[in-house]
């Protein structure tokens, strides 16, 4: 759902468990949010960016894998 976030997690060896700890939620809840079964709040996105990837932008980290061509534009 968030390919850039997943790529940065892999590059920086940040696990879903670590991000869940940052947010104060369970790894399962984070997994649901990252897979689109639940939504990440803006507050959660800002916390992830601020504490795990301060050098990246929110737009970059949370761009979805829906591109214009996939939307039929």
Please report the domains of the chain, with CATH numbers, ordered by start residue: 3-61 (1.10.260)
54: pLDDT strictly greater than 70? yes
Which pTM does this prediction carry? 0.84
Q: What is the 3-state secondary structure (H, E, C) of the chain?
A: CCHHHHHHHHHCCCCHHHHHHHHCCCHHHHHHHHCCCCCCCHHHHHHHHHHHCCCCCHHHHCCCCCCCCCCCC
Across 43-62, average pLDDT:
97
Residue 39 pLDDT > 80:
yes
Arithmetic mean of pLDDT, 33-38: 94
If phi > 0 it is left, if psi is from -120 to 50 it is alpha, else beta; for residue 36 that is left
């Amino acid at each position: 759902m968030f390919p850039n976030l997943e790529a940065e997690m892999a590059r920086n060896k940040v696990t879903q468990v670590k991000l869940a700890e940052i947010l104060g939620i369970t790894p399962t809840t984070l997994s649901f949010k990252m897979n689109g079964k639940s939504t990440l709040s803006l507050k959660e996105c800002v916390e992830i960016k601020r504490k795990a990837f301060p050098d990246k932008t929110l737009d970059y980290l949370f761009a979805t894998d829906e591109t214009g061509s996939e939307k039929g534009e």
